[in-house]
Amino acid sequence: MDFIHLGRSGLRVSRLCLGTMNFGPLTAPADAHAIMDRAHELGINFFDTANRYGGAQSPPGQVAGNDQSHAGWTEEIIGDWFAAGGGRRERTVLATKLYGAMGDWPNQDRLSALNIRRACEASLRRLRTDYIDVYQMHHVDRDTPWDEIWQAMEVLVSQGKILYVGSSNFAGWHIAQACGTAAARNFFGLVSEQSIYNLMTRQIELEVLPAARSFGVGVIPWSPLQGGMLGGVLRQQRDGRRRLADRAREAVERHREQIEAYESLCEEIGEQPGSVALAWLLHQDGVTGPIIGPRTLGQLEDAQRAVSLSLDGKVLERLDTIFPGYRPAPEHYAW
Rounded (10°) CA dihedral 166, 171, 174, 179: 50
Residues forming beta bridges with residue 236, ordered by sequence position: none
Question: Which helix (H) or strand (E) segment is 137 a member of?
Answer: strand 132-137
> CA separation (Å) from 207 to 173, 293, 307, 314?
8, 26, 26, 26
Distance CA 1, CA 305 (A): 10
| Most distant CA pair in the chain, distance | 58
Running DSSP on this structure, what letter comes out for residue 2? -
Give yes or no: 53 in active site.
yes
- Kindly name the residue from 53, 99, 164, 197 that is annotated as catalytic: 53
Residues forming beta bridges with residue 113, ordered by sequence position: none
| Chain centroid to CA 46 | 10
The SS3 assignment for 319 reads helix
Residues involved in catalysis = 53
